[in-house]
């Protein structure tokens, strides 16, 4: 805490209200407004865009400078030198593991990759054309019914086991969603494979032959998981924390995060990129749609460009840009019509004065959408992939909150409805 104070003068209230100003290790100072309630005042901040609802040591973002740090480590360094499971360990434990710790952690995760056979019955209850996110919401929440042995949220060991189970089982459940939609048999995990390889094996493999996994694709998949592992206090992470503040079990909390992520303004953004490419349809129509995007009176928007948080280049998209080219080359997908549209849009966004001036650079959703399309992942699975990677961040934030003193979330409101009025009997209305 700093020695600085903020002072507020309000008409109708005598004197000046003095509030502490808190300083983090980096980033803007924060005014502690908790004393306002005693004065009969609340703050009004739609979308909580100016409100720090918690204290955290996990992730820091400086959107103006295009900086994303996990426990102090730049995302570019992690993407270049680390892998997804090591990043999960970092998010959960605060430090990078040594060789023995990483070996033990990876072993622990891989030992939890299978799901209970009874969970197969849950999938049988879904229509074949159910959206994969609808299935994920249901089956992840249902995990709580299988693991009564680790639901004491006050027990650090229970929290660790639950975290390992969630991180381990999400790729299995994601692949099961896909297989169910295709009417194909579920694939058991193969723990001799890496995390990303195992997912691709369960997603695209079949019991009739050995899985053939392209190392370029496996690397891209691991980096997609890593780049989506955490992103500070976004809508879904805040939802997980809010649900957790009630004392709900971790499986229910992660399910709530999946529900929040499902929205097109959040996790559905990379799905919207492919929808946009399909709407454009042909390279010959790109100029037409770019012109529409520049017209403030036209409702059309180019999806996958710019970011609410980053007012500069999204640091994750720089990593994705190189991976995208590698995957397109490995898959021989350079001539795919939609991907050709995407690459031309990318060139326009990086060179056109309008996009450069407004800093509408291609973001992580743009590149991840292209990569997953090239790999053969259907559009409605994109957000499921996002949820699989983000589970590490969700559970890390949940554990951080539960490990420290916390209060149940209870936002206030600015009431604009009727004042008190008397009930009128039905025959008098």
71 in a structural domain: no
* CATH for 271: 1.10.580.10
Phi/psi at 22 (nearest 5 deg)? -100, 145
Domain that holds residue 269: 83-405
Nearest to 64 by CA among 232, 309, 318: 309
Give how far the C-alpha of residue 87 lies from the chain's centroid of Cα atoms, to the nearest Å.
15
Same-domain check for residues 327 and 231:
yes
Q: Which positions ≥6 away from 219 have C-beta within 8 Å?
A: 196, 323, 326
Catalytic residue among 201, 307, 314, 380: 307
User: pTM of this prediction?
Assistant: 0.91
Does 282 participate in catalysis according to the annotation? no
Whole-angstrom distance between the N-terminal and C-terminal Cα of the chain?
58
Does 307 participate in catalysis according to the annotation? yes
70 in a structural domain: no
Give the DSSP H or E segment for 136. helix 132-142
Place of tokens 């206090």: 233
Same-domain check for residues 134 and 274:
yes
* CATH for 27: 2.20.28.60
pLDDT at position 313 = 77
Catalytic residue among 222, 230, 314, 365: 365
Distance CA 269, CA 343 (A): 18
Give the DSSP H or E segment for 158. helix 156-182
How many structural domains comprise the chain? 2
* Rg of the chain on CA atoms, in Å: 24
> pLDDT per position in the chain (429 positions), as tens?
567 899 999 888 888 899 999 999 999 999 999 989 888 899 999 999 899 999 999 999 998 888 999 999 999 999 999 999 999 999 999 999 999 999 999 999 999 999 999 999 999 999 999 999 999 999 999 999 999 888 999 999 999 999 999 999 999 999 999 999 999 999 999 999 999 999 999 999 999 999 999 999 999 999 999 999 999 999 999 999 999 999 999 999 999 999 999 988 888 777 888 888 889 988 899 999 999 989 989 988 888 888 878 877 788 988 988 888 889 888 887 777 887 888 888 888 888 888 888 888 888 888 888 899 889 999 999 999 999 999 999 999 999 999 999 999 999 999 999 999 999 999 999
């Amino acid at each position: 805490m700093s020695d600085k104070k903020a002072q507020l003068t309000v008409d109708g209230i005598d004197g000046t209200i003095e509030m502490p100003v808190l300083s983090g290790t980096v980033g803007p100072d924060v005014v502690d407004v908790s004393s306002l309630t005693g004065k009969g005042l609340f703050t009004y901040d739609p979308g909580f865009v100016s409100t720090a609802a918690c204290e955290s040591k996990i992730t820091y973002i400086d959107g103006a400078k295009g900086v994303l740090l996990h426990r102090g480590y730049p995302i570019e360094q992690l993407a270049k030198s680390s892998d997804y499971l090591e990043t999960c360990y970092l998010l959960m434990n605060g430090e990078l593991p040594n060789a023995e710790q990483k070996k033990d952690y990876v072993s622990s995760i891989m030992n939890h990759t299978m799901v209970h056979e009874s969970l197969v019955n849950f999938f049988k209850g879904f229509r074949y054309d159910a959206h994969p996110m609808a299935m994920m919401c249901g089956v992840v929440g249902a995990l709580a019914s299988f693991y009564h042995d680790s639901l004491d949220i006050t027990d650090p060991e229970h929290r660790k086991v639950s975290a390992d189970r969630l991180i381990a089982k999400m790729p299995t459940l994601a692949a099961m969603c896909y297989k169910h939609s295709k009417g194909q048999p579920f694939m058991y995990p193969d723990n001799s494979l890496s995390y990303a390889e195992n997912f691709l094996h369960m997603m695209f493999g079949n019991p009739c032959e050995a899985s053939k996994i392209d190392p370029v694709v496996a690397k891209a998949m691991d980096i997609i998981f890593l780049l989506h592992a955490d992103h500070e206090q976004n809508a879904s992470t805040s939802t997980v924390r809010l649900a957790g503040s009630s004392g709900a079990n971790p499986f229910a909390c992660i399910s709530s995060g999946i529900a929040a992520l499902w929205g097109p303004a959040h996790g559905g953004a990379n799905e919207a990129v492919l929808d946009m490419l399909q709407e454009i349809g042909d390279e010959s129509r790109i100029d037409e749609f770019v012109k529409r995007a520049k017209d403030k009176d036209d409702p059309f928007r180019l999806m996958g460009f710019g970011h609410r948080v980053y007012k500069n280049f999204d640091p994750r998209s720089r990593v994705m840009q190189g991976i995208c080219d590698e995957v397109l080359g490995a898959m021989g997908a350079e001539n795919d019509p939609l991907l050709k549209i995407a690459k031309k849009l990318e060139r326009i966004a990086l060179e056109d004065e309008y996009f450069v001036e407004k800093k509408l650079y291609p973001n992580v959703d743009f590149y991840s959408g292209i990569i997953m399309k090239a790999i053969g992942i259907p559009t409605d699975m994109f957000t499921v992939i996002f949820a699989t990677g983000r589970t590490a961040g969700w559970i890390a934030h949940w554990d951080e909150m539960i490990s420290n003193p916390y209060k149940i979330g209870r936002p206030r409101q600015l009431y604009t409805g009727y004042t008190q009025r008397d009930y009128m009997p039905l025959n008098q209305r």
